Amino acid sequence: MQVIRLEALSDNYIFLLYDAEQNIAAVVDPAEAEPVLKQLTQLNAVLVAIFNTHHHGDHVGGNQQLIQKFPQLTVYGGAEDRGRIPGQQVFLQQGDRIQFSSRTAEVIFVPGHTRAHIAYYFPPENLGETGELFCGDTLFAGGCGRLFEGTPTQMVDSLSKIRALPDNTRVWCAHEYTLSNLKFALTVDGDNADLQRRYDEVTVARNHQEATIPSLLGVEKRTNPFLRWEQKALQLAVKSSDPVQTFARIRGMKDKF
């Protein structure tokens, strides 16, 4: 399964999953249809599935046009998003599994950004290979999503599920927010040498208009403040020893950054 990153809107990423042997594809969170259709034409591939993580327009905006072009495809999304995702046919819950090509993804229920958000995790096929996590707006490179419909407790629980995955998991999040996220991270975790190095590397990459997605989960665990609520340095920065309160205060600071 090849993952092809497509740019959309101002800072969105769409991910096309491609099986060259069967010449089929699936798409994760099509913000708009045009980049997907262009790539499918180049590949001469048939789109068989849409995997939506949540209902926001910049994640489902291309659904209807893609359904019109490929009426036999199947639209997947979270069970709690019933009625909110255009064309949704399959309603997924924590622990469900979905198939694409020879790969099977585990569905992880990750409310917080929205009340219905899910993520798709494809474990590695072989020892030493990477897993693939499509997490929408729950976890970003260096950050996490705003809490529009969920609570800090929910988001900590959701991020804990993601944090439990192997370090060699590629994080395919849906926005190019990394540089801004790391600028903020330095304000609460400035003595973190791994974070300092990452900020320098990302600054160079963005100056050359290079994408910073995918990230690696192991890197996120070392540098992303929204996965580090138990770290003393962060608790001191927000004057709390409670993990959920630490997360909530960091999120509140990021909202105003």
- Selecting among 29, 55, 56, 96, the annotated active-site residue is 56
The one catalytic residue among 58, 81, 96, 189:
58
Annotated catalytic residue, options 59, 96, 117, 189 = 59
Question: Which of 87, 92, 123, 86 lies closest to 109 in space, CA to CA?
Answer: 92
| From 29, 96, 137, 189, active-site residue | 137
SS3 call for 7: strand
175 included as an active-site residue: yes
Tokens for 195, please give them: 């974070």
Catalytic pick among 81, 117, 175, 189: 175
DSSP character for 135? E
- Looking up tokens 């403040």, which residue turns up? 225
**Can 113 be counted among the known catalytic residues?**
yes
Catalytic residue among 54, 55, 117, 189: 54
Alpha-carbon torsion angle 182, 186, 192, 193, nearest 10: 70
Phi, psi of 77 (to 5 degrees): -170, 180
58 as an active site residue: the answer is yes
CA nearest neighbour of 223 among 110, 106, 138, 139: 139
Distance CA 204, CA 244 (A): 34
Residue 198, sorted as left (phi over 0), alpha (psi -120 to 50) or beta, turns out to be alpha
59 is catalytic: yes
Helix (H, G, I), strand (E, B) or coil at 247: helix
Question: Which among 55, 81, 96, 113 is annotated as catalytic?
Answer: 113
Q: Is 56 a catalytic residue?
A: yes
Distance CA 210, CA 230 (A): 32
**Distance between CA atoms of 77 and 85, rounded to whole angstroms?**
7
Known catalytic residues are: 54, 56, 58-59, 113, 137, 175
